[in-house]
């Protein structure tokens, strides 16, 4: 569906991406990597927000990098990590902005566009939010509205930059379930970035581990996420636990965390014991 | 859709009523029926050109305000944020100081310096960085520099001959506008107004910030420059003909938001109507209240600031408190 080849990018002297090459063939593709590994940068380059220093991005037919912003935005929907909307636009207006690639800029949207907006709001079960001001929604609701905007853009390729960011446990699952359903039902090619390997294991078909601006591993989640690869990606000792339905989950080793982050392991333990015993004495 | 149109019609109609009524109010009040010679001259050669120019200036300032509020994604941006007002003011003061009194020259110099100020802000901003914040900072620097020059000019000016003209001009006034004064500022104001109104949908997209605007398929940089050029064109033309006019550019978008909400499709045209309406009312008050004309900014200060305060209190939940 999308072939990204040999992408280089740097902010000033900092080289952020070093020859990134990947192909998106599955429907749910995921970028996993530590902070500053270049996930967001890569998504922005694919969208066209940042120009790569060199490299190619293309589908079977078209060279994406040579398209105008308008043509590109018809193929690629981008759902940003942060909510940058400062004015209390109505939810339906926000989603309507997703129709921009198809709208005559001087005339504005048509009634057909409004119908499409309504359709996607219904699809995501957020029609009730339609007249609410965007700035007053909860984090989970805002995320759903931006997903609806991405859908209204009707790109075959949808990019999500950390769609689970600042959401509670349930809303993270809600958002990812919705994205997964969209990708399967409408045959979209989704690329999203995540921070939680367990969510990647639960929802994704194809995984790319990004570290220091390079893809260090790729493949299906169960094969890609291993104790070794977590060590390589995050420098963390983890345990891979399999559940009865053949899913596996990553569990960090607590002892290792204490040594890693707090240095002197024994001292810390002593202190903690003191702390817990203090309230007991008082009672 | 049709219901909205009926309401819009009321707003436009109320502006037209104010426009017509203002033509018969002033130091000389007269009725539309039985105009004699001198009344006719005042009506056609004095009040009509003035009402037209004042309306265009009000719309220009309001639109420049809403344009910058969208571009900088901030409610407190006004037409002067990139230094255009101080630049225009300096241009006018400079012309008053150096040359014999010549309205045509003052207007041209003011217009040109307004544009120079924004170009300067843009160049300095690019030295600071790429983002919009650097542009605002550069605008502050440029405003301060021109402010300094204005102070210097006032200090150097002949206190009996030139200083009163400078002070009067800095406080803003449309007095003495004739058809011939329309020449310099008419075209830039109309171009700016038509251009900014036709960008109303694009402002929605631009207000999301450059990154999202690009993702939604517009060339954000190019549209942003277009908006800055149009806003500079009409606000420096308005300043060149009317002097420094406070508050209209900041308050008009806020009043318009009460009527239409924040969607720029409706908000931008409404801001133009509100700006024209408000400045026309203020100007009519300024020229009718006392025997000699009150400088316009005194009226707009007293009208604009309380209106803004009331709106901020009334709408604080909507705009500022996100709970």
Tens digit of each residue's pLDDT (9 = 90 or more) over B97-123: 988 878 788 888 998 999 999 999 999
Question: What number is the average pLDDT over the span A210-235?
Answer: 93
Helix or strand or coil: residue B244? coil
Residue A265 scores a pLDDT above 80: no
B133 CB neighbour count, 10 Å cutoff: 12
Instruction: Name the residue of chain A whose CA is nearest to B263's CA.
Output: A89
Residues in chain A, overall count: 283
Q: Which member of B204, B217, B318 has the closest CB to residue A133?
A: B318
The pLDDT, as a whole number, for residue B3 is: 52
Contact A67, A112 (CB under 8 A): no
Nearest to B207 among A87, A107, A136 (CB): A87
Range B239-265 average pLDDT: 92
pTM of the predicted protein model: 0.90
Closest chain B residue to A92, measured at CA: B263
Find the DSSP H helices in A76-138.
91-97, 111-123
Contacts of B141 (CB under 8 A, 6+ apart): B121, B124
Determine the 3-state secondary structure of A4 from DSSP. strand
Residue B323 pLDDT level (bands cut at 50, 70, 90): very low
Q: Which of A11, A79, A86, A135 to mutate to test the interface with B (most CBs of B within 10 A)?
A: A86
What's residue A280's pLDDT? 46
pLDDT in the model for residue A278: 46
As a whole number, the mean pLDDT across chain A is: 90
Mutation to test the A interface, candidates B196, B210, B212, B218, most A Cβ within 10 Å? B212
Q: What is the pLDDT of residue A21?
A: 95
Q: Do the bridges between strand A206-211 and strand A2-11 make them parallel or antiparallel, or are there none, so unpaired?
A: unpaired
Residue to test with chain B: of A49, A50, A87, A90, most B Cβ within 10 A: A87
Selected residue with higher pLDDT from B315 and B54: B54
Q: Are residues B217 and A101, on separate chains, in Cβ contact within 8 Å?
A: yes
Residue A63 DSSP symbol: B
Residues 6+ apart with CB under 8 A from A69: A48, B214, B217, B218, B219
Average pLDDT over every residue of B169-187: 85
> Which pLDDT does position A282 carry in this prediction?
44
What is the model's pLDDT at position B1?
43
Torsion sign (Cα): A97, A103, A109, A112? negative
Flag if B211 and A72 touch (Cβ within 8 Å).
Answer: no
- What's the CA gap between B145 and B167, in Å, rounded? 18
Q: What is the pLDDT of residue A243?
A: 82
Q: What angle do CA A176, A182, A139 make, to 5 degrees?
A: 40
- Nearest chain A alpha carbon to B211: A49
Q: Which of A85, A98, A103 sits opposite B201 (nearest CB)?
A: A103
- B143 burial level (CB within 10 Å; 0-12, 13-18, 19+): buried
Identify whether the C-beta of residue A251 lies closer than 8 Å to the C-beta of residue A238.
Answer: yes
Residue A96 distance to chain B (closest CA, Å) = 10
Q: What is the mean pLDDT of residues A70-84?
A: 93
Given a cut of 70, is residue A283 above it in pLDDT?
A: no
Considering chain B, what percentage of its residues have pLDDT values greater than 70?
A: 95
pLDDT of residue A175: 94
Is residue B262 within 8 angstroms of chain A, CB to CB?
Answer: yes
Interface residues of A toward B, Cβ cutoff 8 Å, are 44, 47-49, 69-74, 76-78, 80, 84-90, 93, 97-98, 100-101, 103, 105-109, 133, 135-136, 153
Residues paired with B217 in a beta bridge = none
pLDDT tens figures, B53-82:
999 999 999 999 999 999 998 888 888 899
Contact B204 A136 (CB under 8 A): no
Asked if A108 and B265 come within 8 Å (Cβ–Cβ), the reply is yes
Q: Chain A: give the shortest CA distance to residue B225, in Å.
A: 16
**H or E element in which residue A17 lies:** strand A14-24
**Cα B279 from Cα B274, distance rounded (Å):** 8
Contact A72 B217 (CB under 8 A): yes
For residues A15 and B36, the model is more confident at A15
Q: How many CB pairs (< 8 A) connect A and B?
A: 78
Question: Positive or negative CA dihedral for B303, B309, B312, B315?
Answer: negative
* B202 vs A contacts (CB less than 8 Å): 105
Range B180-218 burial, b when 16+ CB lie within 10 A, else e: ebbebbbebbbebbebbbbbbbbbbbbbbbbbbbbbbbb
Query: What's the pLDDT score for residue A266?
Result: 54
Q: What's the whole-number mean pLDDT along residues A258-273?
A: 65
Residue A271 is inside which H or E element, if any? helix A265-282
Any A CB within 8 A of B215 CB: yes
Q: What is the DSSP letter of A65?
A: G
CA-closest candidate to residue B85, choices B171, B152, B168, B156: B171
């Amino acid at each position: 569906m999308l072939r990204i080849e040999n992408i280089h990018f740097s902010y000033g002297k900092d080289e952020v991406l070093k020859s990134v090459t990947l192909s998106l063939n599955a429907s749910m593709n995921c970028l996993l990597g530590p902070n500053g590994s270049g996930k967001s940068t890569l998504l922005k380059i694919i969208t066209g927000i940042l120009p790569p220093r060199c490299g190619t991005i293309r589908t079977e037919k078209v060279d994406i990098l040579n398209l105008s912003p308008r043509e590109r935005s018809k193929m690629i929907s981008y759902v940003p990590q942060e909510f940058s909307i400062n004015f209390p636009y109505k939810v339906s207006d926000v989603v309507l902005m997703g129709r921009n690639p198809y709208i005559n800029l001087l005339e504005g949207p048509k009634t057909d566009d409004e119908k499409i907006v309504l359709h996607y709001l219904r699809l995501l079960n957020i029609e009730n939010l339609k007249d609410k001001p965007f700035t007053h929604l909860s984090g989970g609701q805002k995320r759903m509205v931006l997903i609806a905007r991405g859908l209204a853009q009707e790109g075959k390729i949808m990019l999500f930059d950390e769609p689970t960011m600042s959401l509670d446990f349930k809303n993270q699952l809600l958002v990812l379930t919705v994205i997964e359903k969209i990708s399967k039902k409408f045959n979209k090619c989704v690329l999203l970035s995540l921070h939680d390997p367990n969510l990647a294991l639960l929802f994704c078909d194809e995984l790319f581990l990004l570290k220091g601006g390079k893809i260090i591993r790729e493949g299906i989640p169960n094969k890609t996420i291993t104790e070794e690869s977590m060590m390589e990606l995050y420098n963390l000792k983890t345990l891979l636990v399999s559940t009865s339905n053949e899913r596996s989950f990553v569990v960090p080793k607590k002892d290792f965390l204490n040594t890693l982050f707090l240095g002197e392991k024994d001292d810390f333990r002593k202190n903690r014991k003191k702390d817990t015993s203090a309230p007991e004495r008082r009672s | 859709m049709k219901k909205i149109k009926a309401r819009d019609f009321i707003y436009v109609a109320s502006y037209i009523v104010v426009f017509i009524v203002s033509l018969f109010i002033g130091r000389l009040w007269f009725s539309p029926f039985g105009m004699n010679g001198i009344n006719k001259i005042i009506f056609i050669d004095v009040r009509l050109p003035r009402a037209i120019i004042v309306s265009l200036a009000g719309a220009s300032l309001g639109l420049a305000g809403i344009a910058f509020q969208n571009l900088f994604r901030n409610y407190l941006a006004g037409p002067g944020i990139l230094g255009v007002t101080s630049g225009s003011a300096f241009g006018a003061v400079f012309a008053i100081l150096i040359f014999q009194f010549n309205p045509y020259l003052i207007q041209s110099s003011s217009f040109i310096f307004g544009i120079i100020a924004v170009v300067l802000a843009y160049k300095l901003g690019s030295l600071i960085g790429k983002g919009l914040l650097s542009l605002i900072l550069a605008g502050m620097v440029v405003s301060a520099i021109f402010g300094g020059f204005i102070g210097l000019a006032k200090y150097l000016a002949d206190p009996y001959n030139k200083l009163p003209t400078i002070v009067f001009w800095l406080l803003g006034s449309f007095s003495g506008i004739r058809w011939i004064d329309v020449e310099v500022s008419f075209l830039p104001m109309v171009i700016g107004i038509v251009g900014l109104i036709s960008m109303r949908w694009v402002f929605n997209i631009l207000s999301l910030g450059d990154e999202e605007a690009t993702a939604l398929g517009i060339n954000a940089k190019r549209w942003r420059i277009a908006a800055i050029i149009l806003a500079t064109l009409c606000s420096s033309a308005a300043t060149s003909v009317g002097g420094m006019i406070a508050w209209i550019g900041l308050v008009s978008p806020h009043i318009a938001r009460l009527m239409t909400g924040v969607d720029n499709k409706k908000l931008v045209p409404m801001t133009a109507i509100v700006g024209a309406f408000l400045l026309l009312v203020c100007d009519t008050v300024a020229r009718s209240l006392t025997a000699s004309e009150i400088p316009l900014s005194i009226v707009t200060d007293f009208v604009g600031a309380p209106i803004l305060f009331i709106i901020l209190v009334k709408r604080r939940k909507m705009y500022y408190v996100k709970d």
